[in-house]
Amino acid sequence: MLGSLLIVFREVLEAGLIVGIVLAATEGIRGRAAYVAGGIAAGVAGAGLIAAFAGTISNALSGNGQEVFNATILCVAVVMLGWHTVWMASHGREMAREMKQMGRAVAAGEKTLFAMATVIAVAVWREGAEVVLFLYGIAASSGVSAAGLLVGGALGVLGGGAMSWLLYRGLVAIPIRHLFAVTNTLVSLLAAGMAGQAAAILARANLIPAWGYALWDTSGVLPEDSLVGRSLKALVGYSDQPMGVQVAAYVGVLVALYVARRLVTHEPARAAVART
């Protein structure tokens, strides 16, 4: 449940910030609420189609095919999570600036409300599609029940929506960079856990080498099937008896994401120094 809460909160917050920036820049324009609502509805509908096709494909597979599909979804989710955190670290401000320019263009009559609705629909669809993919990955990697995913997702929607509204109204003064720094760390751990679980699934199917079984055993201290163990498994990929390839995948993803973020965040600083 915690994993789904984190993912949905993060994605809803990002979509909400885009909507909030556009709304702030188009304050006072008649009819904008209907176009914004239409854009959000179109984005949600698009994400729903993706969810339907993912479920259909999963149900059509059996045996190793199901395991390969689950592992593939996990790997794709890891890549998207990693790309997303790295991209936001380097392009978050640029995205906010572009959304402000869009809102001002609409307010000045240079662009239509339909164009604004399209931008919102694409943003919501993108975040919604990522939610679908990531939740499927969480379900495949940690075995969280459908009820747990729904509860976590609902709490994430409420939390992300409430935070987006508060930031839009200026009722909270949390710097966005600090908020995303915290969620980036948690998302990185989640991505590493998914990578480890994907490796474990493939190793159990004898598709890749295991590199050793049960490198350590903490089941006597913190069983994986306990409440805390299940929560940690969903959130950070905890395993009480991990395989060698599972640990290697986990550490490899964390190192790769750390290096990538360092490179993209330091590049602008080096460019600024070079210009002086």
Least confident of 157-171, 185-199, 244-258: 157-171
Split into its structural domains, the chain has a count of 1
pLDDT at site 273: 46
For residue 272, pLDDT beyond 50: no
pLDDT at site 245: 93
pTM across the whole model? 0.64
pLDDT digits (tens, 9 = 90+) for 233-270: 767 778 889 999 999 999 999 999 888 888 876 655 45
For residue 113, pLDDT beyond 70: yes
pLDDT at site 171: 56
Most confident region among 23-27, 100-104, 165-169, 249-253 by mean pLDDT: 249-253
pLDDT digits (tens, 9 = 90+) for 41-95: 887 787 777 777 766 666 666 556 667 777 887 787 788 777 777 766 666 566 6
Pick the residue with more confidence: 143 or 161? Answer: 161
Q: What's the sign of the alpha-carbon dihedral 239, 243, 249, 255?
A: positive
Residue-number span of the structural domain to which 150 is assigned? 2-275
pLDDT at site 226: 80
- The type of residue at 261 is R
pLDDT at site 255: 93
pLDDT at site 138: 67
pLDDT at site 246: 93
